[in-house]
């Protein structure tokens, strides 16, 4: 299968910020049951069924933008890049500081970035879609250096006052959600990177080789945070997550492997070439089912959800950063990013680090 001759954009760096405060999910469930007798099971069920042990919670004085800024500052400092070097800032997250203005303005102001900004929002695929947008704009010649900043604070939408069992069931998936910041630097590929070859002289360009995306939007109502928009502008009861976990899982599994396999084909690679598959994770218990449904290879994934919870669209950067820090992957390795998001949508991107 031929490899692509060149690339347009490179994922040059990835940064992550995890809040220091960690909450034990099982202990939190016991406290929830004590506060809501009869509505919440006394025996912790969420941690047992999902395999999620703990989650991160942002400081009370922080917003989603602060998480994004913390991750971006780490990335910029590590790479020796000044705020003035950023041509475009994309805030990519399911969370946001407020409805208006775009949270990207707030992030840019806190970072000192004086470049165009915009928000890219598609639930847990926000970061992956933002990288797609960055690559396209770099390819069009509009920008050379794009900073994707993510601040996920789903803990603010998790319900602690549970009046009945039906409400608990809709709220339960939220107890595995976790806060995190992430940043991804996407820049124009140099001629050497675009035309790189491997030790055997075969084309092996560095950067984003290919991607593919899909959606099955008839399932948009299986996972919602409905408050704050025109549908429920001022209803405090709709400011919490409402997720039908079983329907959401079934919808994800029904997506099938076509999008992932299309990305591999476009990149001209096979699973034998891939060092890491970073896949969105909502529960340890679902990972094997997701792997089989999407035809992902065994032994190439990194489990982060057990110790860090479901950090929404920060999941893929977290897995890449963890793999880099542990030495699991390094320069020249192929990574496949697989995103799954409420709505529902799926995305796959093949990247050579």
Catalytic residues: 124, 280, 310
Coil, helix or strand for 179?
Answer: coil
b/e burial code for range 21-43 (CB count within 10 A of at least 16 → b): eebebbebbbebbeebeebbeee
The DSSP output letter for 295 is T
Contact call for residues 113 and 86 (beta carbons, < 8 A): yes
Contact call for residues 301 and 288 (beta carbons, < 8 A): no
CA atoms within 13 Å, Cβ hemisphere of 212 = 12
Please state, as a whole number, how many other Cβ atoms lie within 10 Å of the Cβ of residue 105.
18
With residue 109 as reference, give the H or E element that holds it: helix 103-111
User: How far, in Å, CA of 221 to CA of 71, rounded?
Assistant: 31
Which one, of 305, 325, 347, lies nearest residue 130 by Cα? 347
In degrees and rounded to multiples of 5, residue 9 shows phi and psi of -130, 150
């Amino acid at each position: 299968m031929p490899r692509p001759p060149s690339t347009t954009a490179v994922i040059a760096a990835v940064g992550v910020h995890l809040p220091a405060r960690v909450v034990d999910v099982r202990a939190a469930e016991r406290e929830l049951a004590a506060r809501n007798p009869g509505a919440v099971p006394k025996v912790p069920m969420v941690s047992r069924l999902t395999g999620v042990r703990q989650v991160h919670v942002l400081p009370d004085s922080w917003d989603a933008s602060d998480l994004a800024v913390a991750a971006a500052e780490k990335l910029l400092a590590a790479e020796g890049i000044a705020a003035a070097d950023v041509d475009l800032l994309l805030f990519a997250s399911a969370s946001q500081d407020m409805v208006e203005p775009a949270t990207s303005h707030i992030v840019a102001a806190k970072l000192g970035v004086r470049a165009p900004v915009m928000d890219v929002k598609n639930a847990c695929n926000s970061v992956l879609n933002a990288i797609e947008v960055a690559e396209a704009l770099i390819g069009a010649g509009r920008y050379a250096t794009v900073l994707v900043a993510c601040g996920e604070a789903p803990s603010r939408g998790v319900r602690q006052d549970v009046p009945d069992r039906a409400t608990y069931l809709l709220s339960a998936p939220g107890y595995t959600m976790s806060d995190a910041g992430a940043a991804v630097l996407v820049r124009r590929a140099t001629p050497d990177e675009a035309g790189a070859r491997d030790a055997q002289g075969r084309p092996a360009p560095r950067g984003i080789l290919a991607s593919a995306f899909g959606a099955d939007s008839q399932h948009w109502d299986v996972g919602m945070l409905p408050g704050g928009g025109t549908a429920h502008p001022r209803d405090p009861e709709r400011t919490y997550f409402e997720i039908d976990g079983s329907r959401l899982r079934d919808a994800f599994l029904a997506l099938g492997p076509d999008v992932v396999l299309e990305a591999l084909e476009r990149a001209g690679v096979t699973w034998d070439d891939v060092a890491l598959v970073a896949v969105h994770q909502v529960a340890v218990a679902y990972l094997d089912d997701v792997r089989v449904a999407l035809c992902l290879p065994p032994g190439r994934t990194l489990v982060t959800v057990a110790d860090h919870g479901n950090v929404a669209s920060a999941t893929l950067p977290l897995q890449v950063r963890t793999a880099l820090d542990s030495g699991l992957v390094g320069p020249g390795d192929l990574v496949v990013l697989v995103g799954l998001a409420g709505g529902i949508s799926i995305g796959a991107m093949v990247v050579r680090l």
